[in-house]
Structure 1
């Protein structure tokens, strides 16, 4: 995955959308085409994908009109039909119409306590869907500065804002997920980054979204009294909150940890989500530290590329079952930045992460 960077001084969402659509028109168009082909591979016909995208776009316009307006402006400036950009923005909602895959997405580790939050996440997905990713810095209409990583067409994913609030993102799967086309979970992440000045704000925003697909947003914040964190597990039937352990560590992969929501978890038994969570727990004593490269190395637990959290695609499998770790990222809430590497933690430890 090639990382593109952009900084927008536009606080008006329409102006910012036009700016992004003009600057990255080929990327937005290509990503939309790749996702529509992928949905078809999974047995979701184009008409059905379009219907879900349009319902999600309508839900988004009612819940976060600024985010919807930005997406529409991107589509217009990039010369891409509006529903195609909406389909990428609602890619999790469309994927909810297919059976859960054999794998999940992402492993997250956050430690909070007396000092600044220390974080690391792997973002696992299909490399053929994301040849390029976007690192975007902008100022929201609320006045918060935001830095985030996302895909071309998804409104948000992993990031930090100038209030010292950071966010990691993992997909979940629940029996209540459907093709109803609710508020896109990527838009929930974006609105938290754009507006939230506290974990309580993030909780309020997440709880207000009527979603049709499940996801966990792990939010964390530094303050004079230390750092705090919570994993907000979103599902169509409710919101669960998972707090850090007594030692300050909060781990999340791709299954529900809230006891009630876990009863409806539909992540397949052959997913590595439990294995990856157990791996993070096993390396917790060595995982902390101020340097992101050291955390990435420790996260492998001495196993390097063979660590459970390091995914390499098995080319013998069908393309839809080939998963890879596309990004290793650490969020610096105290310094308002992201440390990123387009690859696995073992590679990031060897090559170093880049500051954004």
Structure 2
């Protein structure tokens, strides 16, 4: 199996999975933590402040997501990194953007119902746009817990989730959002919530977790599940702020989303204070998807689109106003929920000669 980034496979209880993950990616986790400590310091958060924040997020995670907390505690143990720093790492969105004073944005996501896909499968896809310095610390994490549930996710070393799916055919893609309600205390970190969603077996349970778990940051979750026994699949988009949830359903079999609110009106979208490419990327992706059957090559073409270059769906690192504002499409991901398969290309995706695939059936041999 040739992949454009490392694959870590771990099995056992959540704690055992965490320890094994921490040990397997020990050097990357330590380097990624040090990298984020520097980024936190640039925003005015010194190491003691980061650890205090991490302790608060650990308490919230322990209260609302004990299995995820067991895994994160294990990651810290296996990697030899202070546990509060691991929780701060998983709360990097809250710590970097909790003041809602940044215009930074990331990611364009796509959901396709089986009724629109050429294969008859339910598909999710996205570009993950983030600071280019994070590319060396990105990996694929595959976990199989003591109950046999399997999750595969793209993530950053030391974190537990980003875009991914599980063996029940449930998957998620993710976009950052910012609102004037961000920064409320007591919520679980953005990336802990993602992990909680990926550990659910049915779409309704994933929605319940996403809606009912306290949050400190806004987040967009594009969820889908491939249903079986002749029942069609489903997809739904959740715009989640710390105080409310907005919903988007497929139109003509597709959903797209970028980094601004399209449905939720009870929180002020702070991206509107800055503008940016998000305001056209989602609508452009919808137009590019057209009206006919969609094959994976069609999704690849949308993810590689240069409309508005360099701040396009396929984002390029050439026009940042500062070091902190640099952003690039680091990886492009397409998930076939029926086949339990992720296809991934190193970004920017316009440069990708091929997508490499990993299937759940090929893991844990």
1:220 and 2:221 are equivalent in the alignment: no
Per-residue CA distance 1:47-97 (angstroms, 9 max, x = gap): 333222211111001111111111111112211111111111111121233
SS at match of 1:250: strand
Q: 1:107, 1:121 within 8 Å by CA — same for their partners in 2?
A: yes
Who is 2:133 aligned against?
128
The structure 1 residue matched to 2:284, chosen from 261, 273, 279, is 279
Who is 2:342 aligned against?
338
The structure 2 residue matched to 1:244, chosen from 225, 250, 265, is 250
Who is 1:101 aligned against?
102
1:150 and 2:152 are equivalent in the alignment: no
Q: CA deviation at 1:301?
A: 4.8
The structure 1 residue matched to 2:300, chosen from 296, 299, 302, is 296
Structure 2's unaligned 5+ residue stretches are 359-365
TM-score, normalised to structure 2, is 0.89
1:233 and 2:239 are equivalent in the alignment: yes
SS at match of 2:197: helix
2: distance between equivalents of 1:255 and 1:219? Answer: 17
2: distance between equivalents of 1:305 and 1:96? Answer: 25
Q: 1:199, 1:230 within 8 Å by CA — same for their partners in 2?
A: no
1: distance between equivalents of 2:303 and 2:29? Answer: 33
1: distance between equivalents of 2:222 and 2:320? Answer: 34
CA-based RMSD: 2.2
Q: 1:182, 1:211 within 8 Å by CA — same for their partners in 2?
A: yes
SS at match of 1:28: helix
Q: CA deviation at 1:316?
A: 6.0
Q: CA deviation at 1:250?
A: 0.4
With over 3 angstroms needed to count, the CA separation of the structure-2 counterparts of 1:236 and 1:142, relative to structure 1, is farther
Who is 2:214 aligned against?
210
2: distance between equivalents of 1:64 and 1:264? Answer: 28
1:167 and 2:172 are equivalent in the alignment: yes
Q: 1:120, 1:329 within 8 Å by CA — same for their partners in 2?
A: yes
Per-residue CA distance 1:16-67 (angstroms, 9 max, x = gap): 1111111111111111111111112123333333222211111001111111
Who is 1:192 aligned against?
197
Q: 2:104, 2:325 within 8 Å by CA — same for their partners in 1?
A: yes
Q: CA deviation at 1:208?
A: 2.2
The structure 2 residue matched to 1:318, chosen from 308, 322, 342, is 322
SS at match of 1:128: helix
Deviates more, 1:305-314 or 1:218-227: 305-314
SS at match of 1:136: strand
Q: 2:306, 2:312 within 8 Å by CA — same for their partners in 1?
A: no
With over 3 angstroms needed to count, the CA separation of the structure-2 counterparts of 1:211 and 1:339, relative to structure 1, is same
Deviates more, 1:302-311 or 1:313-322: 302-311
Per-residue CA distance 1:264-302 (angstroms, 9 max, x = gap): 1111433211121122122021795333x4421244457
Who is 1:84 aligned against?
85
With over 3 angstroms needed to count, the CA separation of the structure-2 counterparts of 1:294 and 1:248, relative to structure 1, is closer
Who is 2:357 aligned against?
355
1: distance between equivalents of 2:89 and 2:257? Answer: 24
2: distance between equivalents of 1:179 and 1:197? Answer: 29
Q: 2:303, 2:332 within 8 Å by CA — same for their partners in 1?
A: no
